[in-house]
Amino acid sequence: MPAPASHDAYLAGQSPAQAALLTAFRARLAALLPEADEVISYAMPGFRQGGKVVAGYAGWVKHCSFYPHSGNVVPQFEGELAALGLGFTKSAVHFTADRPIPEDLLRRMIAARRAEIATK
């Protein structure tokens, strides 16, 4: 399956419930990264700033995921994510409409990714 051409094309391929959740998440990311460009990276929607993808998202059957495009960001927040009951891997945080990523936590994870990019 070819990568979608845009965020809108990606969202159009999601179920109505996932598309609604991801559209709201896209708006949250856009508000936190107003100077970033929307891109498709690894066949998923993402936000690129200064040549590096800072954040991305994807929809799956049972959840949606936030990707900071780094294996170093999510581990910094493991305790907090677990306390919130959010699923995660080394490189992704899983969320649903019933268990969203809190705004402050999302802001801090993006700040951690931006700080990581700044040191490279």
Local confidence pLDDT in tens for the 120 residues of the chain: 578 999 999 999 999 999 999 999 999 999 999 999 999 999 999 999 989 999 999 999 999 999 999 999 999 999 999 999 999 999 999 999 999 999 999 999 999 999 999 987
Q: Name the pTM for this structure.
A: 0.94
- Residue 25 has which token pair? 């998440």
38 C-beta neighbours (distance < 10 Å), count: 15
Our CA dihedral for 34, 35, 37, 41, rounded to 10 degrees, sits at: -80
- Residue 47 has which token pair? 């936000």
* Location of structure tokens 């949606």: 64
Residue type for 29, please?
L
Residue type for 56, please?
G
